[in-house]
Chains A and B, each alone.
Chain A
Amino acid sequence: SQQGEEDPQALSIQEGENATMNCSYKTSINNLQWYRQNSGRGLVHLILIRSNEREKHSGRLRVTLDTSKKSSSLLITASRAADTASYFCATDDGDDKIIFGKGTRLHILP
């Protein structure tokens, strides 16, 4: 099945550094979304990028999409302790399927 696969599975960085995580998928998509999940909570939507877009920004977040490589990246700049969470990509293939990846666990070290 088409599934977004995040890479790396886990990432630890120092506070203030930038964090980059990647998502790969298998078939064509309408859009790709990134979500954050704090421990014990539901997912929170961060950003949606459509298949005809290459880059989007939202505050300290930057998302890129390369449809030729079937991949997306999420960059969090100037990381903070509050960014510690799991991050998921979700792809919409336009055929009644929205598939979430398994997530990247991000840990921001003080």
Chain B
Amino acid sequence: DAGITQSPRHKVTETGTPVTLRCHQTENHRYMYWYRQDPGHGLRLIHYSYGVKDTDKGEVSDGYSVSRSKTEDFLLTLESATSSQTSVYFCAISGNWGQPQHFGDGTRLSIL
């Protein structure tokens, strides 16, 4: 498996609280991505990064922010979590845009 880990793997929190998910890679890949996976919607891109401090929005970016201060770490933050953000979140990495992506095993997030 590509060296990519997500933390935490599971989290339950309350509406209105801030939440940060972490993605860590050991592959030195340039691109990192955050997706959410929901029944009936498949995988949807939230944000992605193409280098340190270089990020861009995906399909469903509202309510989410990201940061990448080091090549190996990509953080996803929900500033004020809502129940609609209950989902499974996946981080992925790739060497370049359009190349095969390697995925972490996901974070199951429940917002009560």
Which one of B12-20, B61-69, B70-78, B99-107 is at the A interface? B99-107
Q: How large is the interface on A (under 10, 10 to 19, 20 to 34, 35 or more residues)?
A: 20 to 34
B residues within 8 Å of A by Cβ?
35, 40-45, 56, 59, 90, 92, 97-106
Q: Does A110 lie at the interface of the complex (its beta carbon under 8 Å from any beta carbon of B)?
A: no
Complex Cα gap A100–B44 (Å): 7
Contact digits for A14-44, partner B, Cβ 8 Å, 1 yes 0 no: 0000000000000000110100000011111
> Min CB distance, B42 to chain A, in Å?
4
Give the chain B neighbours of A92 by CB distance below 8 A: 97-98
Q: Which of B43, B102, B105 has the most CB of A within 10 A?
A: B43
Q: Are B105 and A42 in contact (CB under 8 A)?
A: yes
Contact digits for A27-66, partner B, Cβ 8 Å, 1 yes 0 no: 0001101000000111111001000000000000000000
Q: Which of B41, B45, B98, B99 has the most CB of A within 10 A?
A: B98
Q: Are B104 and A42 in contact (CB under 8 A)?
A: yes
From A43, A97, A98, A99, contact of B90 by CB (8 A): A43
Count of A-B residue pairs with CB < 8 Å: 47
Give the chain A neighbours of B92 by CB distance below 8 A: 42-43
Q: Which partner residue on chain B sits nearest A46 by CB separation?
A: B100
Give the chain A neighbours of B106 by CB distance below 8 A: 40-42
Q: Are B42 and A88 in contact (CB under 8 A)?
A: yes
> Min CB distance, A109 to chain B, in Å?
23
